[in-house]
Amino acid sequence: MTPRNAPFSQAEYDRRIARTRAAMAKAGLEAIFVTDPSNQAWLTGYDGWSFYVHQGVILTMEGEPRWWGRHMDSLGALRTCWIAPDSIHGYADSYVQSTVRHPMQDLARILREIGLEQARVGVEMENYYYSAKAHAVLGAELPKATLVDATALVNWQRLVKSDEEIVFIRKAAAISEKIVRTAIELSRPGLRKNELVAEITRAGLIGVGEDWGDYPAIVPLTPSGMDATAAHLTWNGAPMKAGEATFFELSGCYRRYHAPLCRTVYLGQPPAEMRRAEEAQIEGIEAGLAAARAGNQTRDIANAFMDVLKKYGIHREGRMGYPVGLSYPPDWGERTASIRTEDETVLEPGMVFHFMPALWMDSWGLETTETILIGETGPAQALCAVERKLFVKE
């Protein structure tokens, strides 16, 4: 078991597999089949834009993981995974988007060959990449097996980051700083939004020094004016205008690791209500960071922020953040814990969150956020160093 092109040490992959197997044992599983590309990469190093077809990683209680997918993508697995070539399985192209056969038939064949015909096998049922048809076919092909919902079983093992992972996240944070500063510096009335996004993307891919930029799991979100009252709009070809706010929800990405960072630019003089919201948001972020310490819960961060908003008379609903790290489209969140008022996840050193207490109001949006690292002691550390404020450009 020697890494070839995989980005981490063998000890790191061994740690990940040991954590996952402990969770499998607790859930009474003999094997898991994970389709989330983030989980595949976390366990094996596999990295490719092939998640639009059926693929995944099989992990049993012994031996190394097996990667399974389309034959042409198995060649990419040979280039990116640490596992041995005989642990990489490729199915024929005749299975791809076929009306007469399904890739899960090939997966079932492999599971039978390795002795899992009657096993309890965990699958990620609440996952973007595992379809209802896939589940139905796999169940029909393995009638004696028990398919168990193991959604997020691997995701939860990823919550505490290793020292090796934190190095990558810090590199992503440096790229995040660069692209957010690029967005702020270039913003001006008359600049077409698509041209600005092109420069943001260019800065992100160039990276910082020798640390090249990867594609982020979410495209640049850059709405202006009334569009900024919505959370997840992208861009268009319209020019930026005086008298409008634009928020930039962006992330640098280094070898699939993210560190999201959001800032807002106002072209002209912002209204008094927006200035007051800025004051409340920044004070609330400081309170949240103070509460984001090992031993507290994620809800403590949310409640600290909400207490400040209540003082200012500002109403807000929804969660205020989520864990981040290794991810693929369509989301850079890890889909486990949430920074919200009822979440009781206990904070541990090494956890990394996007603390995202954005405000979307009736006529503008204000996003000021931080990627934060929970330390051994004291408040969380913000990994980026862009000034925390509403940026105003006349």
**What CATH number is associated with residue 53?**
3.40.350.10
Res 3: pLDDT: 47
Instruction: Give how far Cα 42 sits from Cα of 152, 206, 278, Å.
Output: 13, 24, 38
Judge if 203 and 103 occupy the same domain.
Answer: no
Assigned domain for 349 exists: yes
Domain boundary among 113, 142, 157: 157
Res 182: pLDDT: 98
The CATH number for 184's domain is 3.90.230.10
Full domain range(s) for residue 43: 10-157
Res 250: pLDDT: 98
What is the residue whose two structure tokens read 């050193």?
Answer: 349
Domain boundary among 125, 157, 189: 157
Question: What is the SS3 assignment for 316?
Answer: coil
Assigned domain for 250 exists: yes
Res 80: pLDDT: 96
Judge if 304 and 234 occupy the same domain.
Answer: yes
Assigned domain for 2 exists: no
Judge if 111 and 192 occupy the same domain.
Answer: no
Give how many domains the chain has, as a whole number. 2
Judge if 179 and 67 occupy the same domain.
Answer: no
Judge if 327 and 190 occupy the same domain.
Answer: yes
Taking the chain (394 residues) in runs of 10, the rounded mean pLDDT of each run is 75 98 98 98 97 98 98 96 96 97 98 98 96 98 98 98 98 98 98 98 98 98 97 96 98 98 98 98 98 98 98 95 98 98 98 97 97 98 98 94
Judge if 53 and 170 occupy the same domain.
Answer: no
Task: Tell me phi and psi for residue 75, to 5 degrees.
Answer: -70, -35
Residue 252 near residue 216 (C-beta atoms within 8 A): yes
* Cα angle for residues 309, 313, 318 (degrees, 5° grid): 50
Judge if 144 and 192 occupy the same domain.
Answer: no
Nearest CA among 154, 147, 137 for reference residue 36: 154
Judge if 180 and 141 occupy the same domain.
Answer: no
Judge if 152 and 202 occupy the same domain.
Answer: no
Assigned domain for 198 exists: yes
Judge if 46 and 116 occupy the same domain.
Answer: yes
Assigned domain for 1 exists: no
Domain boundary among 157, 185, 214: 157
Judge if 173 and 300 occupy the same domain.
Answer: yes
Res 2: pLDDT: 47
Q: Which residues are CB-contacts of 58 (< 8 A; sequence separation ≥ 6)?
A: 31, 32, 33, 65, 66, 68, 110, 111, 114
List residues bridging with 354 in a β-sheet: 322, 371
Assigned domain for 24 exists: yes
The full DSSP string for 319-344 is --EEEBSB--TT-SB-SS---STT--
